[in-house]
Structure 1
């Protein structure tokens, strides 16, 4: 059973994840390992993990809205969001909490129905107001302290996929969704 590591999940975390209708992800340090590759021409390159991408797509296919909220503006992020079919992309957001609240409101949801996955201090405010706060394994210690769940995997190395799998497992969709791949 690929989701057995969620079988001993804290009941509170499971209940929080079961309510999620919107999952919001930071980029640098969460969907990537935090490294920035900048060429001499000033163009930026990022490395995304394919497992994370499939996790984001699976969430969407199972009725959970997916959003990306990041403080930086990056063309590679735009391309990746387009490739994954993510409609809710917000770059250049210095106030991530306000941005997440706007998304929640626009979708007619409540903060308890949202999750935020992050890694560093700018992610604390949105994490503290959502129903499920997830920190990646290599998150800043203060961020990890404020998370309901800390992934086993590091940012950019499958942490986002783990968060997606957690939500699907808590909602009872993981096993049925897995059948389509067997």
Structure 2
């Protein structure tokens, strides 16, 4: 039996929203990580990131779509991960909606051209403001209720990559990337 095309089950209204995205913003804890907070014996925070999510963020960036990590927690490891991927890191952000609004203004785009992926209460304001709000499968209900679409994967387990692939698919670029293994 042939495999169904990617995102065949995604409603057309969601694909239309994804087709307009020029900026993709991601919460970190519970979205690009599994939400666990671990500390080493010196009190330094430890996070693990899924390599597929990182590849998705790089693909978006190479496709000319802005990518920003927006977290309420202090930086360090988030800033390092963002630098590794060549994307922006906005750390210790008290008002994520205001930050997304300022990022859109700096890019000269409307909020309807932004996506935000979040998993909990601190993300809801930003999610309600943007054109495409996405929550990982295991997001808290308050974020899930504010999402236009939910991923199949949980936070830190490929959910970020699902959003990246959805955007690239909706913009007609994913099949070419998969065909030749690179962004054009």
What TM bracket, shorter-length normalisation? over 0.9
Which residue pairs with 1:175 in the alignment?
Answer: 175
Which residue pairs with 1:74 in the alignment?
Answer: 75
Which residue pairs with 2:125 in the alignment?
Answer: 125
SS of structure 1 residue aligned to 2:29:
coil
Deviation per CA, 1:96-126, whole angstroms, max 9, x where unpaired? Answer: 0001100000011100100000100100000
State the Cα distance separating 1:3 from its structure 2 match.
Answer: 7.8
State the Cα distance separating 1:180 from its structure 2 match.
Answer: 2.1
Which residue pairs with 1:103 in the alignment?
Answer: 103
SS of structure 2 residue aligned to 1:103:
helix
Which residue pairs with 1:56 in the alignment?
Answer: 57
TM-score norm. by structure 2 comes to 0.95
Deviation per CA, 1:106-164, whole angstroms, max 9, x where unpaired? Answer: 01110010000010010000000000000000001121111110000000000000000
Q: How does 1:1-182 map to 2 (within 5 A)?
A: 4-86=5-87, 88-181=88-181
Judge conservation of contact 1:115–1:132 (CA < 8 Å) in 2.
yes
Q: Distance in 1 between matches of 2:31 and 2:132?
A: 16
SS of structure 2 residue aligned to 1:67:
strand
Deviation per CA, 1:71-120, whole angstroms, max 9, x where unpaired? Answer: 0013111110010011x211000100001100000011100100000100
SS of structure 2 residue aligned to 1:115:
strand
Query: Following superposition, which runs of at least 4 residues in structure 1 exceed 2 angstroms of deviation?
Result: 1-5
Judge conservation of contact 1:132–1:148 (CA < 8 Å) in 2.
yes
Compared CA separation, residues 2 and 180, structure 1 to 2 (3 A): farther
Q: Distance in 1 between matches of 2:58 and 2:133?
A: 20
State the Cα distance separating 1:28 from its structure 2 match.
Answer: 0.3
TM-score norm. by structure 1 comes to 0.96
Compared CA separation, residues 123 and 21, structure 1 to 2 (3 A): same
| Unmatched runs of 5 consecutive residues or more in structure 1 | none
Q: How many residues align?
A: 181
